[in-house]
A and B are shown apart, each in its own frame.
Chain A
């Protein structure tokens, strides 16, 4: 089985990833922690995953070595140097929200696995979980191997999920959880096959969305469709 590392900030998403990967017996060989970048939106307890235990504590208790990087910047030289030293090719990526990987990171030769909360390429961009709820009354997440083009990487796998009963939990709980489920699916597929590839996206079906306006967000949350 191919080994992989996890590059993350201490966010709800990273905690959900460790939870799902642990349940699937697919733990990373090493965790690179972007210090000073978390916790993010919330570290309140939730029902779907352990959002209270810091990722470093959780990793170390599972016997995963933790390397603390002296930066919250995923593109910082310290991050690039730390990654370049490692033998693993696959990196589970869970950086701070909105972080965009720059060319020097890709020049390390690593493959960065990311889960986008929307069906690709139909729902590229930001807050797509709300857009797909409004348009289709469903939620989907897609695992991709990142490229310099935002949300344009090859698709490893995807999965649809029901809209949660309590839609107010989406930002802090449901979004991290659905991403974590798909991340576990994708890691299993890649490490078991040993092939670091996916299917190219059909550009003709691509649509990019931007941060959802609070009026549309409220309609998405209050709707029962």
Chain B
């Protein structure tokens, strides 16, 4: 029986040796295994406490946060912390005050993630990692995955590709996500990913 093994925690987090080059073809069963594994991971992300941000994430794009909206995203002008930046972007997204600068920051982080297989804790204004040995907190990956998921339009394969990879990492690390906001971020990200890949699979014979 084919299994979906690309969210193996030991390979993804512990030694970082996993890579996606020349992955073997495993037939149609592989896609069925992927969908089952992803749906199981999503359904396991139960959210017990009530939190406005978590509810807005789960209801996105129909739901939004009420109250004072933050400013729309702008390009960084100096060194910045990944966790703080992503939290600001999340608030902006949930308040519906997005901007092209928000797209640019998320897309650049996606490129950095694709190359390094990691998000770093801090970057310079021109997106150079201030450390290449440390990784950002797992909560930041969850926020990043949600933001990326909200930006993928049907047919945008580059963004969808990054989303699949960051969700592999996050499913492997899901037990570390303890707050409603971060569990909701991963749950909604997996939902959107499944919808997008499902649309592509509809074209299969």
Contacts and interface: CB of A to CB of B under 8 A. Distances in A.
Interface string B129-160: 00000000000000000000000000101101
Given A216-B157, A223-B203, A211 B31 contact: no
B23 interface: yes
A138 interface: no
A128 B174 CA distance: 31
Interface in B79-129: 111, 114-115
B157 A135 contact: yes
A134 B21 contact: no
Interface residues of B, number: 30
Interface in A35-49: 41
User: Which of B6, B31, B157 has its CB near the most chain A CB atoms (within 10 A)?
Assistant: B157
A7 to B, nearest CB: 22
A214 B20 contact: yes
B197 A219 contact: yes
A219 B155 contact: no
Pick from A97, A209, A211 the residue with the most CB of B within 10 Å.
A211
B65 interface: no
Interface string B165-198: 1001000000000000000000000000000010
Task: Give the interface residue-count category, chain A.
Answer: 20 to 34
A209 B110 CA distance: 11
A214 B31 CA distance: 9
B28 interface: yes
B13 interface: no
Nearest to B205: A224
A164 to B, nearest CB: 13
Given A219-B197, A223-B203, A224-B205, A213 B158 contact: no
B164 A218 contact: no
Contacts of A214: 6, 20, 23, 30
Interface in A53-89: none
Contacts of A135: 155, 157
A171 to B, nearest CB: 6
Nearest to B156: A135
B115 A216 contact: no
Nearest to A132: B157
B3 interface: no
Given A215-B164, A219-B200, A41 B28 contact: no
8 contacts: A134-B200, A209-B158, A211-B21, A213-B6, A213-B161, A214-B6, A218-B25, A225-B203
Interface of B: 6, 19-23, 25-26, 28, 30-31, 34, 111, 114-115, 155, 157-158, 160-162, 164-165, 168, 197, 200-201, 203-205
Given A213-B20, A216-B161, 17 more contacts: A131-B157, A207-B158, A209-B161, A210-B162, A211-B19, A211-B20, A214-B20, A214-B30, A215-B197, A216-B157, A216-B164, A216-B197, A218-B30, A219-B201, A222-B28, A222-B31, A222-B205
